[in-house]
């Protein structure tokens, strides 16, 4: 699968590790990241040699939410296929903060392992808005 600027992919011994890779922005989620993650999950679903998928983030965070810095249109949080549609176990290794779409992404996985010092939350509810990413 190779590497890109926003998603690192490592497949070894039947395990695909998909790493959100924008550490300077605490892995804030972008439309490009959603597209790359969807493409990687599609491949993981299709390839028999891949038996399990792990989604994590390059330290210091898992995912600090949607990247709102560009403010160009809406930040799409749609990942296709969604992690729960993959026919293999998808594990979220939440190695740091998981906020907004970051927590929604973790919730879409079959299992979640969360670091003791991780902070997680759906900040949208503080603004009276329903959280996205199927978090409800």
* Contact in structure between 19 and 56 (CB atoms under 8 Å): yes
The mean of the pLDDT values for the chain is: 89
Q: Provide the CATH number for the domain formed by 7-127 in this structure.
A: 3.90.226.10
pLDDT confidence of 98, banded at 50, 70, 90?
very high
pLDDT at 75 over 80: no
pLDDT tens figures, 15-67? 999 999 999 999 999 999 999 999 999 999 999 999 999 999 999 999 999 88
**What pTM was estimated for this model as a whole?**
0.88
Which pair of tokens denotes residue 14? Answer: 């039947």
Beta bridge partners of 121: 99
Task: Tell me what pLDDT residue 40 has.
Answer: 97
The H or E element that residue 107 is part of is helix 101-108
In this prediction, residues 108-112 reach a mean pLDDT of: 96
Q: What is the percent of the chain where pLDDT is above 90?
A: 70
In the chain, the largest separation of any two C-alpha atoms, in whole Å, equals: 45
pLDDT confidence of 106, banded at 50, 70, 90?
very high
What does the domain layout of the chain look like in residue ranges? 7-127
In this prediction, residues 2-15 reach a mean pLDDT of: 86
In this prediction, residues 93-117 reach a mean pLDDT of: 94
In this prediction, residues 103-116 reach a mean pLDDT of: 95
What backbone phi and psi angles, to 5 degrees, belong to 117? -95, 10
């Amino acid at each position: 699968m190779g590497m890109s600027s926003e998603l690192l992919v490592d497949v070894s011994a039947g395990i695909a590790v998909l790493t959100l890779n924008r550490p300077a922005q605490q892995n804030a989620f972008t439309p490009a990241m959603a597209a790359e993650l969807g493409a990687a999950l599609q491949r993981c679903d299709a390839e028999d040699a891949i038996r399990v998928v792990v989604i994590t983030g390059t330290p210091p965070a898992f995912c600090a939410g949607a990247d709102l810095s560009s403010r160009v249109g809406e930040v799409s949080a749609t990942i296709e296929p969604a992690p729960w549609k993959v026919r293999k176990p998808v594990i979220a290794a939440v190695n740091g903060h998981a906020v907004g779409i970051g927590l929604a992404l973790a919730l879409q996985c079959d299992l979640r392992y969360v670091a003791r010092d991780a902070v997680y939350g759906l900040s949208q509810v503080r603004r009276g808005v329903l959280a996205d990413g199927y978090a409800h």
